[in-house]
Amino acid sequence: MRRKFFAPILVIALAFPFFAADKKSGPKPIVVDFSKEKAGATPQAFLPVVGNWSIQQDGKDKVITVDGRAWKKGNPAEGMIESARKIYGSRHEEFIDNVKAFAYFPYAVAGGVDEFHDGEISIRFKLISGSLDQCAGILFNLKPSGDYLTVRFNQKESNLVLWTFKSGKRSFVKRAPEDVPLDMGQWYTMKIAVHGTQLQGYLNDKLLLEYTLPEPVNGRIGLWSKTDSVTEFADYKVLKQ
């Protein structure tokens, strides 16, 4: 008798209805669908940990927005404890303690992807405003300890940078050698590709950042921002290999 096997990506899609598999041939990316979410409400596909995150209407489309205008230092997201329990269960207390050390940096965790190690993560983003910062980023390798990595673009500096957050400390890792000024209020794309310890960062399909990580990544993923940035995100896709 032939046994039937179900691809893990389909199990993820069924367990978390806001994530769906792309129907193209080959490896199928997980695509976040905001169309069934409620505008003005807290997102369901992402679990806010730090900052103010909501679903907003952008023309005909719904997007996820981080609004840093009410930002205060050390202010986690409303419902952060509940989100932490959903992400790490009984290990959430250690996670919460470390999150508070990074409350300068808003982020939300993708609810439908339990772990990511090899593959690609891509987003579209639109920078709306920000006096201190105008940031958009991809968070990855998030651990139960609260440590993580992020590749981010900051319009204030016009660059793509890899940062590490570990044991309550943010550390610079590598900056893309080329500065790329972007216009506010326009949509752009960002992508990271991870293969073993090799990391690549792309902006508008152009490879700008390459780095060899000290060890392979394996953790949760999400969206990232900084201080008072107001940023919209759409078309969050994850291709796991």
pLDDT digits (tens, 9 = 90+) for 143-164: 988 899 999 999 999 999 999 9
The DSSP call for residue 10 is: H
In angstroms, the CA 172 to CA 85 distance is: 29
User: In this model, does residue 23 exceed pLDDT 60?
Assistant: no
Phi, psi of 83 (to 5 degrees): -60, -45
**Mean pLDDT across the chain:** 84
Q: Does domain 8-240 have CATH number 1.25.50.10?
A: no
User: In this model, does residue 21 exceed pLDDT 80?
Assistant: no
Q: How confident is the model at residue 103 (pLDDT cuts 50, 70, 90)?
A: low
At residue 6, the pLDDT reads 32
**Amino acid identity at 221:** I
At residue 68, the pLDDT reads 85
In angstroms, the CA 92 to CA 31 distance is: 27
pLDDT digits (tens, 9 = 90+) for 170-201: 899 999 999 999 999 999 999 999 999 999 99
Q: How confident is the model at residue 8 (pLDDT cuts 50, 70, 90)?
A: very low
CA distances (Å), origin 51, targets 100, 106, 219: 11, 5, 21
Query: Is 204 in a helix, a strand, or coil?
Result: coil
In angstroms, the CA 225 to CA 139 distance is: 9
26: tokens are 């080959």
At residue 236, the pLDDT reads 97
pLDDT digits (tens, 9 = 90+) for 200-236: 999 999 999 999 999 999 999 999 999 889 999 999 9
Q: What is the mean pLDDT of residues 42-70?
A: 92
Q: What is the pTM of this model?
A: 0.82
Q: At what angle do helices 92-101 and 80-88 cross, to 10 degrees?
A: 130
Share of the chain above pLDDT 90, in %: 62
